[in-house]
A = this chain, B = another copy of it.
Amino acid sequence: MKCHSFNVFFETIANKTRLKILETLQDKPKSVTEICNALKEEQSKISHNLKCLADCHFLDVKKQGKKRIYSLNKETMVPLMKLVSRHVARYCCKDCKARGK
């Protein structure tokens, strides 16, 4: 296992803003402005976080006039999210309820 690459991979996803971006892009590809509106977040914040995600190839970008359209790298993200969903459903929800979280 190459700890550094793995670490970058996970650090990039382990962030609420970036997770929300990934979530909203599951719906369909969007421009920066569209993402900002969807999440009600500031533009520079979104841009900074989009950069991380694109650097790690979680997202692809293409130019369209003045806009940049970001889309999900489904090949990795879809199975990843499925796997995590299963883990979370199995283990975390029960615990959270038990602990009153």
User: Could you tell me if B76 and A83 are in contact, using CB atoms closer than 8 angstroms?
Assistant: yes
CB atoms of B81 and A80 under 8 A apart: no
Q: Check A5/B56 contact, CB under 8 A, given A10-B14, A13-B10, A14-B13.
A: no
Q: Given known contacts A57-B92, A79-B83, A88-B9, is B19 in contact with A1 (CB within 8 Å)?
A: yes
Please tell me how many copies of the chain the complex holds: 2
Chain B contacts of A28 at CB under 8 A?
A: none
Least Cβ–Cβ distance between A57 and chain B, in angstroms:
4
Known contacts A14-B11, A83-B79; decide if A93 and B3 are in contact (CB<8 Å). Answer: no
Q: A23 near B9 (CB under 8 angstroms)?
A: no
14 A-B contacts (beta carbon < 8 Å): A1-B19, A1-B85, A2-B88, A3-B16, A3-B19, A3-B23, A5-B96, A6-B19, A8-B92, A9-B87, A10-B10, A10-B14, A57-B95, A76-B87
